[in-house]
Structure 1
Amino acid sequence: MTALIGRTRERAVETLSLDSTGTRNALSAALVAALADALADCAEDPGVRAVVLTHTGTTFCAGADLRDPPDPDALVGLLRQIVALPKPVVARITGHVRAGGLGLLAACDIAAAAPAATFAFTEVRIGVAPAVISLPVLPRADPRALARYYLTGERFDAAEAVRLGLLTTTADDVDQALAPVLDGLRRSAPEALTETKRLLTARVLETFDRDAAHLTALSARLFSSAHAREGMTAFLERRDAAWVVV
């Protein structure tokens, strides 16, 4: 079986790369499980000071794999694992991000993307809602600005993602932009990083503890609905869904 997560390490920073380019790094059950295992290894390894989450190919993550979707509880577990990881997680994005991929992005502590990257909460266009990914997204993004993109599924660029609070920065050379960030993490005491991250993520984790069961049930209900069946079929057949007004 081909590895779904690439792993490299440089000076105490472990880079995990989503590596399922055939599905545009969509969140399949297998990819979610593989990423969760890799993160667990990083959490336990004293040689890892921080984690960079990135991708191969032109897409960071296309959202849920409609042919092999993860269990909602597993996706919630993965997002919470990133937020609660005792080491900083930095997102490095040079490609496109859709739907569930924005949940991964929002779960990270620091995020940088190239200007060519595009973003979209496409759930409403296939008949569902950004339910589970709201657990990390809503506490970290501007709700008024976010409403437009949640409700319309429109694409937006990296500069807009910074304005929304989904990205820390955008830069033509993402690696150059992240170099001082990673240097700073390497210079920081491991226990101090853990406790400082705990301060920063407390409100996000409170949202998980309060809302995860409700949003997981909502996601399961919507994905089993007639609208979702039509929306997913239309997406796979590359046609407009029946409700589209033209």
Structure 2
Amino acid sequence: MRRADRLFQIIQILRRTTKPITADTIATELEVTKRTVYRDIATLMGQRVPIRGEAGLGYVLDGGFDMPPLMLTSDEIEAAVLGAQWVIARGDPALAHAARDLIAKIAATVPGQLRPVILEPAVVVPPAWDRAAESIDMAAIRASIHAGRKLGIGYRDREDRESRRTVWPFLVGYRETTRMLVAWCELRGDFRMFRTDRVSTLEFLDERYPARPAQLRARWYAFMQARRQELDRTA
């Protein structure tokens, strides 16, 4: 790996997290020695890249720092194209349209030698077969999640029994043929996952729920992790 490429990769590694990353971790990923990492970090600091930390403790890249746009490797471009293909096949119409625009923007901006990676990809997402039909506005649901606003929904369970719920939406999950709305349900006083194709009515409420969406996501991830551990113990 050229030194210039290695310096860029160190910045990329630091950008992934706000927690300190040790020279050992960086050296292992880049397959170089710690001494090389120390020299490269010193070079980046000398170039006024806002890296904080020191040898033995770890390094952090201060917020607000950015590199010129679309300095992407071939693998990064391929990853972006593969993800965009998946969204085109399985996302809601607004996201699918955005994914097509994303591919076009990347293709128009990357150097010419990388354009075939986009226009003639070596990776592909298979078509989405037998996707469950839904009639709700997923773009508006995503907007409600970002705004932290409640939803009123009519929901049919697997036995076609309908109930009315007020929910605090914080995540949309994707399965192979269905989408799931993950929310805190006021009726049950607990987290619930709702198949979007079983939502019969939908009301966008002005009322904000008391927690931030990110807080609910963190609580749900912790809940699911504890649930998996419990299942592993009883298996």
User: Highest Rg: 1 or 2?
Assistant: 2
TM over 0.5: no
TM-score class normalised by the smaller sequence: under 0.3
More relative contact order, 1 or 2 (CA 8 Å, 6+ apart): 1
TM-score (norm 1): 0.23
Please identify which structure carries the higher strand content: 2
TM-score (norm 2): 0.24
